[in-house]
């Protein structure tokens, strides 16, 4: 069964860059059947789609975050990554990596990782 | 951006009740709508896709309907395991957006 696992620092300083990696196991990230993406959830709040990537490298970003977000894929490691620059306290959230169908439904999620932005 | 508005924000109900949650889109999204269930400390789980298609393994007491801008999620007979927060999501075009969530509480 395909599984996703987030990894990365749990604490990031304001103005710095948040970096997370998602490792895919039990299946290939090079599958032509899925997109891979990031979704976040501030404590006690709702869900926000950050962006998604296809194994070929095509990316799609939330317009409100586009200027600060980079998502990349490493097919040799079966991983994809998120970089969010110039973070503020408003970026404090649980960050989920996810597997999406080609139409856009989210079929699978990582367990989520809390990233706190604080000095 | 397409805005998604759910109502109510909180719903108090008893086991066995029929529950309906509404999701409205700021513009037509055809049937490109999904519903998710989230329990505290857990990732969301897909319940319904394409407005009315039941995801494999999801109990048949869950159903979805609607198209265009207005959609509903119905739980025909609320079970103890159903107390959770429910989110709608549009995927009509890139720039996917979620509703703000509806928390279903025990009455």
Express each pLDDT in A64-104 by its tens digit: 999 999 999 999 999 999 999 999 999 999 999 999 999 99
DSSP assignment of B41-88: TS--EEEEETTTEEPTT--TTEEEEEETTEEEEEESS--GGG-SEEEE
Quote the pLDDT of residue A66. 97
Q: Give the whole-angstrom CA distance, residue B100 versus residue B7.
A: 9
Contact B96 A49 (CB under 8 A): yes
Contact A46 B91 (CB under 8 A): no
Cα atoms in the 13 Å half-sphere on the side-chain side of A62:
20
Contact B98 A46 (CB under 8 A): yes
pLDDT tens digits for B16-57?
A: 999 999 999 999 999 999 999 999 999 999 999 999 999 999
Contact A60 B36 (CB under 8 A): no
Q: How far is the alpha carbon of B101 from chain A, nearest alpha carbon, in Å?
A: 6
Quote the pLDDT of residue A68. 98
Q: What is the mean pLDDT of chain B?
A: 97
Q: Give the whole-angstrom CA distance, residue A78 versus residue A71.
A: 14
- Confidence check: pLDDT of B93 > 90: no
**Disruptive mutation site among A105, A107, A110, A112 for chain B (greatest number of B CBs within 10 Å):** A105
pLDDT tens digits for A4-60?
A: 999 999 999 999 999 999 999 999 999 999 999 999 999 999 999 999 999 999 999
Contact B43 A47 (CB under 8 A): no
Q: Which of A47, A96, A106 is nearest residue B46 as measured by Cβ atoms?
A: A106
| Residue B32 with chain A: CB contacts under 8 Å | 103-104
Q: Which of A47, A96, A109 is nearest residue B87 as measured by Cβ atoms?
A: A47
| Under 8 Å between Cβ of A88 and A14 | yes
**Disruptive mutation site among A49, A106, A108 for chain B (greatest number of B CBs within 10 Å):** A106
Report the percent of chain B where pLDDT is more than 70: 100
Quote the pLDDT of residue B89. 97
Q: How confident is the model at residue B70 (pLDDT cuts 50, 70, 90)?
A: very high
Contact A46 B36 (CB under 8 A): no
Q: Is the dihedral of CA A60, A54, B42, A7 positive or negative?
A: negative
Q: Which of B34, B43, B96 is nearest residue A111 as measured by Cβ atoms?
A: B43
What is the average pLDDT across B64-79? Answer: 98
């Amino acid at each position: 069964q395909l599984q996703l696992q987030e990894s990365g620092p749990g604490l990031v300083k304001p103005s710095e860059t948040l970096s997370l990696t998602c490792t895919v196991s039990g299946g290939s990230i090079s599958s032509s059947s899925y997109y891979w993406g990031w979704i976040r959830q501030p404590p006690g709040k709702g869900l926000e789609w950050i962006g998604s990537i296809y194994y070929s490298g095509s990316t799609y970003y939330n317009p409100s975050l586009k200027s600060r977000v980079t998502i990349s894929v490493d097919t040799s490691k079966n991983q994809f990554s998120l970089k969010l620059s110039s973070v503020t306290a408003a970026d404090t959230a649980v960050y989920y990596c996810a597997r999406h169908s080609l139409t856009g439904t989210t079929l699978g999620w990582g367990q989520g990782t809390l990233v706190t932005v604080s000095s | 951006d397409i805005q998604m508005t759910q109502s109510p924000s909180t719903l108090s109900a008893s086991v066995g009740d029929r529950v309906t949650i509404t999701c409205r889109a700021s513009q037509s999204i055809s049937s490109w709508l999904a519903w998710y269930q989230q329990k505290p400390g857990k990732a969301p789980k897909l319940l319904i896709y394409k407005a009315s298609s039941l995801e494999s393994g999801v109990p048949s007491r869950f159903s979805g309907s609607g198209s265009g801008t207005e959609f509903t999620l119905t739980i025909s007979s609320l079970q103890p395991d159903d107390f959770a927060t429910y989110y709608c999501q549009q995927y009509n075009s890139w720039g996917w957006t979620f509703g703000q969530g509806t928390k279903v509480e025990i009455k």
